[in-house]
C-alpha cells in the first residue's frame, strides 16, 4: 500500500501565500526554487537561481547586483541553509541593499526581507 503524501509545511511559504499581495514578486537567495513553486510567486530578476551560476563568472555577479538594484524585489527570501551567503564577500553589496531598503522577519526556516521604501 503506498504511503500518503505528507502535507508540506513551511512558515515562509505560508507567509508568502497568505500575507503578501497576489502580484508581489520574490527573490530567493541560493538555489531553492520550492519557494517560487509552492508560493505561486515569481521573480522580477534574471538570476532567480544564483548558486553556483554567479560564482562561475564575475560578470554574472555584476549583472545580478545591478538587476537587483534597478528592480528591487518586494520580498527577498534567505533560506536557513543559505545563511552562509551573509558572510560571502561576493554578496556583500546585496546585503548592503537589504540593510538599506528592507525590514526582516525571521522564521524557523530562514528570513524574509520586505521592501520598505
For 87-98, the pLDDT digits (tens) are 888 889 999 999
Grid cell in block for residue 81: 541553509
pLDDT bin (cut points 50, 70, 90) of residue 5 is very low
103 band by pLDDT with thresholds 50, 70 and 90: very high
Q: What is the pTM of this model?
A: 0.88
| pLDDT for res 1 | 44
Residue 87 CA to residue 90 CA, distance in Å, equals 9
Check pLDDT > 70 for residue 3: no
pLDDT for 55 equals 77
Q: What stretch of H or E contains 11?
A: helix 11-18
Amino acid at each position: 500500500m503506498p504511503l500518503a503524501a505528507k502535507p508540506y509545511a513551511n512558515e515562509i511559504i505560508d507567509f508568502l501565500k497568505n500575507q503578501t499581495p497576489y502580484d508581489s514578486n520574490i527573490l530567493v537567495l541560493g538555489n531553492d526554487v520550492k519557494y517560487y513553486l509552492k508560493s505561486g510567486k515569481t521573480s522580477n530578476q534574471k538570476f532567480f537561481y544564483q548558486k553556483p551560476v554567479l560564482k562561475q563568472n564575475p560578470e554574472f555577479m555584476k549583472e545580478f547586483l545591478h538587476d537587483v538594484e534597478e528592480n528591487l524585489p518586494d520580498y527577498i527570501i534567505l533560506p536557513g541553509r543559505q545563511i552562509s551567503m551573509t558572510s560571502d564577500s561576493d554578496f556583500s553589496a546585496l546585503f548592503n541593499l537589504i540593510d538599506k531598503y528592507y525590514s526582516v522577519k525571521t522564521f524557523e526556516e530562514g528570513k524574509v526581507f520586505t521592501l520598505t521604501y
